[in-house]
A and B are shown apart, each in its own frame.
Chain A
Amino acid sequence: MPKRTDIHKILIIGAGPIIISQGCEFDYSGTQACKALKEEGYEVVLINSNPATIMTDPDMADRTYIEPITPETIARIIERERPCAVLPTLGGQTGLNTAIQVAELGVLEKYGVEMIGATIPSIRKAEDRDLFRHAMEKIGLRIPRSGIATDMEQCRSVAAEIGFPIIIRPSFTLGGTGGGVAYNAEDLEVIAKAGLDASMISQIMLEESVLGWKEYELEVMRDHNDNVVIICSIENVDPMGVHTGDSITVAPAQTLTDKEYQQMRNAAIAIIREIGVDTGGSNVQFAVHPETGEMIVVEMNPRVSRSSALASKATGYPIAKIAAKLAVGYTLDEIPNDITGETMASFEPTIDYCVVKIPRWTFEKFPETRDYLTTAMKSVGETMSIGRTFKEALQKGLRSLEIGRHGLGADGKDPLTPPSFSEIEQHLATPNSSRIFYLREAMLHGISLPSIYELTRIDPWFLDQIRQIVDMETRIRDAGKNVSTSLLRQAKSTGFSDIQIAAIVGATEQDIRNRRSETDTLPVYKLVDTCAAEFKAATPYYYSTYETENEARVSNRKKVMILGGGPNRIGQGIEFDYCCVHASFALREEGIESIMVNSNPETVSTDYDTSDKLYFEPLTREDVLNIVETEKPLGVIVQFGGQTPLNLSTPLHRAGVSILGTQPESIDRAEDRKLFQAMLHKLGLVQPENGTATSVAEAVAVAEAIGYPVMVRPSYVLGGRAMKIVYDPEELENFTLLAIAASPNHPVLIDKFLEDAIEVDVDAISDGKVTIIGGIMEHIEEAGIHSGDSACVLPPYSLKPEILDEIAWATKSMAAELHVVGLMNVQYAVKSDQLYVLEVNPRASRTIPFVSKATGIPLAKLATKIMLGKTLKELGLTSERIPHHISVKEAVMPFNRFPDVDTLLGPEMKSTGEVMGIDEDMGSAYAKAQLGAGQNLPLEGTVFISVKDRDKPGALAIARQLCDIGFSLMTTRGTGAFLEKNGIPSRMVNKVSVGRPHVVDAIMNREIQLIINTGFGNETKRDGYHLRRAAIKYNIPYTTTLAGAIALGKAISAMKQKTLSVKPLQEYHG
């Protein structure tokens, strides 16, 4: 049946900010959906609060609402836009949940809006544990047995029914706290008791343990004619017990016979039919007992997911695009398969390579959290790699991770003394982020494969693959420098990088590279074609491998290569992918062939039709040079993908690769302390007093000279990794050691920390002669909090015009001095009307998408064209565009995933994502940003205020304002006394350290609706910690800065005065 003509306007709900478990894969799926529906002539209305997405680019949808994804906001948009249908299955769990809430408000019914893709009953059936269980029983499938208990008596009886071991999951706790596995009745008493205590509603779920079972996923698609196809099977290397998002996974499934695979396929088809997903994609997870083959259904997602993004990239089959087309009435046999161009989407992809996905964790950002993996997801990104063998794919994946490793060990980065037996045993038995490396250590240590299996329950097939890698390492080691050409080739097809081989035989990376080119041991490029070569592939989507036949179709066109950002991590996320995608679009507009290189399956940049060519490859010197040698591009763009490609710019440049835009020398000049200082001096600009140190002793001397507090950080890292404000020598010594480890061979930087300064972020664009300010953003939180973690406002709301002029002048002068061609970001601090330059980065910054959305100027696109030789004048950008509306960017934190971590903000970036609020006034824009970030701002109730002494005068005004708009106050002793002295009454409550009942009790009793708590220094740290954790647990909005409190005050006032309005981007920039 062709597409529906009874609907013409469709609302798509996005996924909002990037959080752990909901990453940029939903920008990928949403962008595909927008494109697919527009292509079919539908008018697309989009809501997404995340400005860093491609889907919120003004030309992706017809009407783009960057507004908080709340049911109320969507109701207002529906009222305004009157769409015919809403498509909720492409915006992750957020999209699905919010759509249900909207339906519950009766809005869909009121305005006659049809829900397409999935219906409310089918969503409920998949999401509600009980309904799901019944549905599965109906079709003869089984899910783990479970029961609910609210007291110990019930626990015992449920356990008696299910048997041991048994999993205990407290209801309503964050990050899986308070749960565990009970192996016997004695364990049960302890763990269930703790679980009941941890639960906010004193309830636990007891579930049959399937720990150690093999875990699988199938991606399923269905059309309204009830045709069902399986797009991809995925097998987890880590068995049940580790969240699938935290598991190393492989596609296709490796250890299932056809009989078992078909049984799983039949089950998946029966499930999508029974749940009633009429059209679109779903994901079904299974557990299989390794000894009996018994199969259990773990869960089903009636929407596109992280796994469907992975499956799309792994097979070339665009699940989200097809899902969107199915939702408007097409059937699978009516939709062409773009990859082959000659066949239709009604088939099951078959692949002739092996795909490995490896999660990227950032435990180093949260030192208080133990590095272990459970059923609650903790990774923030992932890489995918493709090889003709599992070994090759695994090692490519490991070097794509950008954790400083170049494969499965043997890369010169292994610990100098091998780990002890007990250390190995411990790292194998408890899943953790480095377990894969310990598998190698275990084998080198001589631990048998069966013993490793007992400890890890990782399938023997995978263990044997690792063994083969370790064996190859040994063979290379035995051969030494005289490694034969045939062994070298075998090593390469086992996935060994040049760096690994060099480290093993005692040579340099370049030695091995030379050796390879002399012996013609070069990679070839194979196509991802959905069909294992049965049909000719129309789209050039490549991966490298060491085989004989090269399929790269090198054209004679002018071409430019864009290096992407690799796996998402805190500090380098979707914002950089946004820039890379824009670079690709700009190249297309200029008629130049675009070649994208990236290893991140979640992104739009790795969609097969974003660029003219896609190389799904690790972003390392070796892999990038290989592609350069094949494609011979005009030049390479390194300034858009974040620190990853930037770090490659000098090595590539040295290897003779032409870098487009700002040259590596300028990048170095901005990064190099001394060169940078000389430049500032020359321009008469000021930076905070500072010094460098390569040892602890030097660091202490520098700090003494400039006076505490000081900010300490290593050079060449992004996201404030290992950066800290230090108040005394002892702290300094400890931290300097960490900083040296974070960036070895580079000095540690020590700056005077400017307390209470206003921080300013500037993005600018330069063609080498003229520089135009893209946007000036004033941070809400004071300097010292990482710019990625602070909220900021565009245009600035409190800076004097003279300061703004000075900022513009300073920015332009530095751009000229650094010969910037392309984008540049500068961070300033303003204190007592003095402007300080904190940092200059001659590259795209995290704020480029935000500034572009706020001003309507596509900075990354323009910068690309400039790199190709255009001038700003030619591009029509002649002056800064200062919008009349206010745009606020707010960071979104992952603290609910890390139960032990303090939520206090500092110079080390911790946020995973961002939202944007746009409105006519500051209060409303800030309110939207807060709502978008998930803060439930109260309109009435009690505000708890506890601030450090220095903030007390400032807190007075806020307290007064809150009282005026009807809030009552609760305070700790010091703050309360101060307020009382100034005539503001408040109810006093104990700090946690004073004794019960204390403030956390008040939070638990729902007596507090908003928390304002500032405090540095050690005496208040523990108190503040308990308070802040309680706020997270009970989802109470809180701020840890005075500036944040002032802004919250404005936001609440704005919300009390009027209903927040909605307005599409197209009208702001119309």
Chain B
Amino acid sequence: MKKAILALEDGRTFACQSFTGPGEASGEAVFNTSMTGYQEVLTDPSYRGQVVAMTYPLIGNYGVNPQDVESDRVQVAAFVVKEYQPVPSNFRSKASLGDYLIQNHVMGIDGLDTRALTLHLRNAGAMRVFISTEDTDPLSCVRKARAISSMTGQDLATVVSTPTPYRWVQETPVPLEGDFRRLSLAVWKQRGQRRSVVAFDYGIKYNILRLLEASGCEVVVVPASTSAADVRRMEPDGIFLSNGPGDPAPVAYAVQTIRELLGYRPIFGICLGIQLLGLAMGGVTYKLKFGHRGANQPVKNLKTGRIEITSQNHGFAVDIATLNPDDVEITHINLNDQTLEGFRHRTLPVFAVQYHPEASPGPHDARYLFDEFNRLMAGH
């Protein structure tokens, strides 16, 4: 265990220790309140650039395994827990959390009052953080935190997006054969048997792909920068807009592409996907004070009146007031703070949610949305 300092941009510092050896890390400090699912959190591309603190104090209990991943790598900038558990126990565990982080060159720290950190972020808002085992001067660490570029205005989706298209086959990514720059109808191997879905990767979670596949879709994942013309050449049955990290506003090219595709085929968006859709439909997004990150967010489905306990991970949101009610119907709202959780277009086959129906981690209450997407595609 090596002593470390966690320094926030507003000057607050926490003495802690690294359980992954010496190192330094920086990013935006956020907290997640989910009591299970740390491996999914670590590998969720939406956390790119963020230093994630878990509010549940004991982390590492069940180790890590090869199945519970949401992308091909650990995405967080650093991982902060109250007490790291070095001896895991679970029938599927293959390694300890510490070893996993070391392998992925991501820093893990513990031994600090994570509740104090959480309260601080709740009151002061998400902010930049610098962590170091090397620099032992708190003031210097604070200065370094202030030097990090802010989350607002950063296009992180481009950074995490896949550089090349791939097919999702039996729960694994398979590179496209031949010249991947020439997207066309030829990418589909099960045309007619399964619905063809183009999934824009802004930082997509594997579980979305698993559920699309399980619901009867054949999925081709394309880079965030893929053009509307490329998509049209593939003639999909539906288009999926994925989750992803950071601020939607700077991802202007994606907004433009989506605008061009509105009405072409059914579109389903999740998380960053709803924010980009919102922007494409003329809305405005804003940064939440400390975001929604956890697996217990209550969402009300305004059509059925039913409550879904949802998994969420977002720091930005679409401002309901900026959406044109003539075009957009609000379908879901957050019961904690009344923020937007879902909408659909009144005339076009477009719907999206801010939360994560694919869960992972989190409750499975909202999986029905994948069936809705399929129904929508069947109707067009």
Chain A residues at the B interface, C-beta cutoff of 8 Å: 225-227, 229-230, 233, 252-262, 265-266, 289-293, 331-333, 342-344, 346-354, 388-390, 459-461, 464, 526, 531-535, 547-549, 551
Q: A258-B68, A533-B122 are in contact. Are A526 and B115 (CB under 8 A)?
A: yes
A388-B115, A464-B89, A532-B294 known; 15 new pairs, CB 8 Å cut-off, are A225-B306, A255-B90, A256-B62, A344-B336, A346-B298, A347-B296, A347-B297, A350-B35, A389-B83, A460-B87, A461-B62, A464-B85, A526-B115, A532-B56, A534-B118
Known contacts A257-B65, A349-B296, A548 near B113 by CB under 8 Å = yes
The number of chain B residues touching the other chain, given as a range, is 35 or more
Tell me whether A350 and B55 are in contact (CB under 8 A).
yes
Please give me the 3 A-B residue pairs with the lowest Cβ-Cβ distance, nearest first.
Answer: A258-B37, A549-B116, A258-B361
Main SS of chain B's interface residues?
loop
Task: Please indicate the chain B residues that have their CB under 8 angstroms from the CB of A292 in the complex.
Answer: 91
**CB closest residue in chain B, given A389:** B83
Q: Does B360 contact A (CB under 8 A)?
A: yes
Is B194 an interface position by the 8 A CB rule? no
**Which among A257, A344, A352 has the greatest number of chain B C-beta atoms within 10 A?**
A257
Q: Which of B53-108 contact A (CB under 8 A)?
A: 55-58, 61-62, 65, 67-68, 82-83, 85, 87-92
Q: Which of B57, B359, B363 contacts A352 (CB 8 A)?
A: B57
A351 — which chain B residues lie within 8 A by C-beta?
A: 35, 56
**Residues from chain A with Cβ under 8 Å of B306 in the complex:** 225-227
For this complex, 7 residue pairs linking A to B, each with C-beta atoms less than 8 Å apart, are: A233-B35, A253-B36, A257-B68, A261-B36, A388-B82, A461-B61, A532-B294
Q: Chain B residues in contact with chain A, CB under 8 A?
A: 14, 31, 33-37, 39-40, 55-58, 61-62, 65, 67-68, 82-83, 85, 87-92, 112-116, 118-119, 122, 294-298, 300, 305-307, 309, 335-336, 359-364
Q: Which residues of B contact A460 (CB under 8 A)?
A: 87, 89
Residue from B85, B305, B307 within 8 A of A461 (CB atoms): B85
A226 to B113 CA separation, bound complex (whole angstroms): 39
Asked if B56 contacts A252 (CB within 8 A), the reply is yes
CB distance from A157 to the nearest CB of B (A): 33
Complex contact A547–B68 (CB within 8 A): no
Assuming the A-B contacts A226-B306, A464-B87, are A259 and B67 also in contact, with contact meaning beta carbons closer than 8 angstroms in the complex?
Answer: yes
Q: How far in angstroms is the closest Cβ of chain B from A955?
A: 64
Which of B67, B119, B298, B335 has the most C-beta atoms of chain A within 10 angstroms of its own C-beta?
B298
The one of B14, B92, B307 in contact with A293, judged by C-beta atoms closer than 8 angstroms, is B92
B89 partner, pick from A265, A293, A461, beta carbons under 8 A: A461
Whether the Cβ atoms of B335 and A255 lie closer than 8 Å is no
Tell me how far the C-beta of A584 lies from the nearest C-beta in chain B, rounded to whole angstroms: 28
| B residues in contact with A533, CB < 8 Å | 31, 55, 115, 118-119, 122
Q: Which of B33, B37, B85 contacts A532 (CB 8 A)?
A: B33
Q: Does the CB pair B336–A347 fall under 8 Å?
A: yes
- Say whether A258 contacts B360, CB under 8 Å: yes
Contact B56–A344 (Cβ < 8 Å): no
Chain A contacts for B91, CB-based, 8 A? 289-293
* Given A257-B39, A262-B362, A333-B335: A348 in contact with B89 (beta carbons within 8 A): no
Q: Which of B295, B305, B363, B364 is the most central at the interface, judged by chain A CB atoms within 10 Å of its CB?
A: B363
A756 to B243, CA, bound (A): 83
> Chain B residue with minimal CB distance to A524?
B113
Interface of A is mostly: loop
Q: Which A residues touch B294, using CB under 8 A?
A: 350, 532, 534
Is the CB–CB distance between A347 and B36 below 8 Å?
no
Contact A354 B92, beta carbon cutoff 8 Å: no
Q: Quick one: which of B33, B360, B362 has the most chain A CB within 10 A? A: B33
Q: Give the distance in Å from the alpha carbon of A1035 to the alpha carbon of B33 in the complex.
A: 52
> Which interface residue of A265, A346, A533, A551 has the most chain B CB atoms within 10 A?
A533
Q: Indicate if the CB atoms of A352 and B122 lie closer than 8 Å.
A: no
In chain B, what residue has the closest Cβ to A251? B35
In the docked arrangement, what's the CA distance between A343 and B335, Å?
A: 7
Residues of A within 8 A of B83 (CB): 388-389
Bound-state CA distance A1014–B212 (Å) is: 77
**Is the pair B58, A390 in contact by a Cβ cutoff of 8 Å?**
yes
Partner of A229 from B58, B122, B309, B336 at Cβ < 8 Å:
B309
From A260, A289, A461, contact of B88 by CB (8 A)? A461
Cβ contact within 8 Å between A262 and B363: yes
Cα A291 to Cα B295 in complex, Å, equals 27
Q: How far is the CA of A332 from the CA of B308 in the complex (A)?
A: 11
Q: How far is the CA of A389 from the CA of B36 in the complex (A)?
A: 16
> Max chain A CB contacts within 10 Å: which of B57, B85, B305?
B57
**In the complex, what residue of chain B is closest to A345 when comparing beta carbons?**
B298
B56 near A350: Cβ-Cβ < 8 Å: yes
Q: Give the chain B neighbours of A551 by CB distance below 8 A.
A: 119
Contact of A389 among B31, B58, B115, B122 (CB under 8 A): B58
In angstroms, Cα B56 to Cα A346, docked, is 21
Q: What residues of A have a CB within 8 angstroms of the CB of B31 in the complex?
A: 533
Tell me how far the C-beta of B119 lies from the nearest C-beta in chain A, rounded to whole angstroms. Answer: 5
B263 CB → nearest A CB, Å: 34
Q: A549 to B113, Cβ gap below 8 A? A: yes
Query: Min CB distance, B274 to chain A, in Å?
Result: 21
Smallest CB gap from B311: residue in A: A258
Q: A252 touching B307 by the CB < 8 A rule?
A: no
Asked whether A225 lies within 8 Å of B33 as measured between CB atoms, the reply is no
Q: List the B residue with the shortest CB-CB distance to A265.
A: B363
User: Is B359 a contact partner of A262 (Cβ separation < 8 A)?
Assistant: yes
Q: Which of A346, A352, A535 counts the most chain B CB atoms within 10 A?
A: A352
Contact residues in B for A461 (Cβ distance below 8 Å):
61-62, 85, 87-89
Residues of A within 8 A of B65 (CB): 257
**Closest chain B residue to A262, Cβ basis:** B364
For residue B258, give the distance in angstroms from its CB to the closest CB of chain A: 31
Complexed CA–CA distance, A233 and B56 (Å): 14
Residues in A neighbouring B116, C-beta threshold 8 A: 547-549
Q: In the complex, which residues of chain A have a beta carbon less than 8 angstroms from the beta carbon of B113?
A: 547-549
Which A-chain residue is minimally distant from B123 (CB atoms)?
A536
CA distance A252 to B54 in the complex (A): 14
A678 to chain B, nearest CB (A): 55
Q: Which chain A residues lie closer than 8 Å to B364 at the CB level?
A: 262, 265-266
Report yes or no: A225 in contact with B35, Cβ–Cβ below 8 A.
no
Q: Residue of B at shortest CB range from A388?
A: B57
Distance between A690 CB and nearest chain B CB, rounded to angstroms = 55
Least CB distance, B230 to chain A, in whole angstroms? 35
Closest to B65 in A: A257
Smallest Cβ distance from A815 to chain B, in angstroms? 49
Chain B positions within 8 Å of A255 at CB level: 61-62, 89-90
Q: Which residues of A contact B67 (CB under 8 A)?
A: 259
- The distance in angstroms between the C-alpha atoms of A243 and B256, with both chains bound, is 62
Q: How far is the CA of A344 from the CA of B307 in the complex (A)?
A: 11
Cβ contact within 8 Å between B87 and A344: no
The interface residues of chain A lying within 8 Å CB-to-CB of B112 are: 548
